Structure 1
C-alpha cells in the first residue's frame, strides 16, 4: 500500500549513534578550540540533514501532507504520531539552525558551545527509536 524507502531511512538513522557520541564528547570536552567548533558545526548540520531527510522520506512514503519548510517536516511527523512533542521541539530548533549552518557560516559563533549540542544525543536516539517504532507499526 505504501512505498516507503525503508533502506534510505535506516541508512540515515544508522549514522545517529556516532553523531550522538560526537556531540556528547564535544559537550564534555569543550574548550572552544577551532577544531571543536568546526566539528560541532558539522555535527549539528548532519543532525539537521538526517532529521529532514528521514522526515521527508516518511512524508513521501506514507503520503502525508506536503511540507512547506524544513520546520514543517518536523511538525508533520509530530502531528502524524511518528515522534513525540518532546523529540519534535528540539528537532524543530535544530532545523531552524540549518540556514545559519549552510548559508551564514561566516558569522557562526564557532567558539561557543551551542545549547542544542548537549541535548541532541538523547533527542537523536529518541528520534531513531520512535521512527523505527512507527515503521514497525505502520508496515505490518
Structure 2
C-alpha cells in the first residue's frame, strides 16, 4: 500500500527533545553571548530541517501532492491532517527562517533571542506527537 520510511521519520523525531530542551534553557538564561547565539542559530536550523525532512518523507510515503517550497511542505501535511494549525503556523514561521540561516547567515542577529525560541519547544514536541499519531492511524 504505502512505502513510508518510518525509520527515517522516527530517527529525525528522536532529535527533537534535545533541541527543545536547549531552546527552553536558552529562553530562561539568555545572555546574548556568541556561544548562545551560534547554538540558537544551529538549533533553529536543525528544527527547520527536521520539520521539512519529516514532512517530505510523509508526502513521498503517503503519496500526497508534491510540495513547491518548504512552506508548502507544512501546508500539505497540515491539509492532510498530519498536524494541526497550532503546530503548522509556528512551523511555517520557522521554515521561513531557513533561507537566512542557511544562505544569508551573515545577517543573522546572533546576540538576540529569536521570538520563536520560546515557542518552539512546545511546537516541536507537538509536531513529534502528531506525526507519531498519524503514522499509528494510517499504517
TM-score range, shorter chain: over 0.9
Q: TM-score, normalised by structure 2?
A: 1.00
2:61 corresponds to 1:64: no
Any residues of structure 2 matched to 1:39-58 within 5 Å, and which? 39-58=39-58
Which structure 2 segments of 5+ residues have no match? none
Q: Deviations over 1:13-46 (max 9, x none)?
A: 0000001001001111101010000000000000
RMSD across aligned positions (CA): 0.3
Deviation at 1:109, TM superposition (A): 0.4
Deviation at 1:103, TM superposition (A): 0.5
Any residues of structure 2 matched to 1:93-112 within 5 Å, and which? 93-112=93-112
Any residues of structure 2 matched to 1:1-140 within 5 Å, and which? 1-139=1-139
Which structure 1 segments of 5+ residues have no match? none
Give the secondary-structure state (helix, strand or coil) at the position aligned to 2:60. helix
Give the secondary-structure state (helix, strand or coil) at the position aligned to 1:97. helix
Question: After TM superposition, where is structure 1 displaced by more than 3 Å over at least 4 residues in a row?
Answer: none
